[in-house]
Structure 1
Amino acid sequence: MNEVKTPLELSGRCLCGAVTVTATAADPILRACHCSMCRQHTSSVFVNIRADQDSIVMNGPVKVYKSSDWAQRAFCEVCGSTLWYGLIDDNSRNLAAGLFENAGAATLAMEYFTDDCPRGYAFAGDHQKLTRKQTFALFAPDEGEAQ
């Protein structure tokens, strides 16, 4: 018999509470990105939780920044908390895991740009680790180094 999973209900907020977010996650996993833009935007690795795109509701002073020709990032206009990273063509949003208590209780499943990860830290565990070349091949094969 197939087990039917109940989607995880996510509810979170930015640091100051001005932005609130709710979403569901049918398969809540964490993904970490070590690219230079994510590290500059967050001052570290960007860890996001995969949520069902049509379920994301965000209220408050959200500021969107177009970080490249194909990607954008959002943050709270009041406190600067990172809210999401997304692709422009499909309007996808990868929510910052830090918005949710205990990162939504999700498990790390994937790292991107592992060859760009600073030497000062590393994630433990058995999960998929993609290099810069593998990450671009997956998401933007025609873009090369532009992120």
Structure 2
Amino acid sequence: MSAETVSAWTGGCLCGSVRFSLAEEVARFSACHCSMCRRWSSGPFLVVHVHGPVTWTGEEHISRYRSSEWAERCFCSRCGTNLFYFLIPTGETILSLGTFDDQDGFTMSGQIFIDEKPPGYTFANDTKTMTGAEVFAMYGAGSDPDDAG
């Protein structure tokens, strides 16, 4: 499958207790280097912004942790897989790239909180980058960081 030919994207957690599907065409992912995402995912958090509905099975196994005034970090209560980041003000679901069954066809489009990235790693991809201040300014305007620049 590739982003151009897939009609429904699917994925889930490590143990299979939580599954998702979405009909929206997705082809881009971004990396968040903020300290909370790095602590939560043990490195940069690779994410897919979803604008349409996500259909879940096994929702009873999704635990939510309110990590800030504006967001929840959601994970499988059985195996601990980081499933998604939920933006409370916009209702946006930001899925973990690693949870997708098929990751072929995805392209890295951006990096946020680049000012918090530790010096020990660098992505070779030439992407749009934003500082934390730029991200907060953009979300205040209700925009998607993947659409910037």
Q: Give the TM-score category using the shorter length.
A: 0.7 to 0.9
Q: Which amino acid letter does the alignment assign opposite residue 136 of structure 2?
A: F
User: Shift of the alpha carbon at 1:122?
Assistant: 1.2
Identity fraction in percent: 35
Residues 63 and 74 in structure 1, CA contact (< 8 A), matched pair in contact too: yes
Give unpaired runs (5+ residues) of structure 1. Answer: 142-147
Structure number with higher relative contact order (C-alpha < 8 Å, ≥ 6 residues apart): 2
4+ runs deviating over 3 angstroms? 5-8
Question: What TM-score does the superposition give when structure 1 sets the normalisation length?
Answer: 0.83
Question: What TM-score does the superposition give when structure 2 sets the normalisation length?
Answer: 0.82
Aligned-partner Cα distance in 2 for 1:7–1:52: 17
Q: Which amino acid letter does the alignment assign opposite residue 55 of structure 2?
A: V
Q: Deviations over 1:17-63 (max 9, x none)?
A: 11111113334210110101111111111111133422x11222111
Aligned-partner Cα distance in 1 for 2:104–2:19: 15
Aligned-partner Cα distance in 2 for 1:133–1:52: 23
Quote the residue 2:68 is aligned against: 68
Aligned-partner Cα distance in 1 for 2:41–2:128: 22
Residues 50 and 92 in structure 2, CA contact (< 8 A), matched pair in contact too: no
1:59 to 54, 57, 60: 57
> Structure 1 pair 53/82, CA: closer, same or farther in 2 (3 Å)?
same
SS of the equivalent of 2:23 reads strand
Give unpaired runs (5+ residues) of structure 2. Answer: 142-149
